[in-house]
Chain A
Amino acid sequence: MDSFSSPSSGSPPKLSTDDIMTQLRTQLEQAYAEEFLETVRGKCFDKCITKPGSSLSGSESSCISRCIDRYMEATGIIGKALFNQRH
């Protein structure tokens, strides 16, 4: 396979398992945060900005604020429901 270093420069330092896992978890967290943001933007735009005006009204702003809180709460409810299953 390809080597990332030329033979003359010696081998690159090897990443430890800890380093690899830390990088992976950091990147996963970032990806999830971005995905969550994108979802919340979509849902709250649909619910709160029904007739776009020339600026955001006060009621649109409060709707957005409540929407974000409710969506976060919904995420928690779904998480709990999945792990509290009784068959």
Chain B
Amino acid sequence: MDPSSMNSPELQNLLAQEKQKAMISEMISKLTSACWDKCITGSPGSKFSSSEANCLTNCAQRYMDMSLIIMKRLQQ
């Protein structure tokens, strides 16, 4: 194994990948929290109703739609 320098391109590349993965994990975590609050209004059951499950899916996708709109607006 090569001893690494903090500036090695290999390390920088691996760190960039981990950063990307961490940003995705964080988005999933925040979205799950927000969409749970919006969609799971009663006491948790032993499974999700189809309306609860659909609400969670819709919630995530509408958030992404909104994100795109915001980005486009800010680029104008």
Contacts and interface: CB of A to CB of B under 8 A. Distances in A.
User: What is the size category of the interface that chain B forms with chain A?
Assistant: 35 or more
A28 to B, nearest CB: 6
Given A35-B29, A78-B60, A16 B40 contact: no
Interface in B1-39: 1-4, 8, 10-11, 14-15, 18, 22, 24-25, 27-29, 31-33, 35-36
A16 B45 contact: no
Interface in B29-74: 29, 31-33, 35-36, 40, 43-48, 53, 56-61, 64
Given A74-B48, A79-B28, 7 more contacts: A16-B3, A17-B1, A24-B18, A39-B32, A74-B32, A78-B59, A85-B64
Interface of B: 1-4, 8, 10-11, 14-15, 18, 22, 24-25, 27-29, 31-33, 35-36, 40, 43-48, 53, 56-61, 64
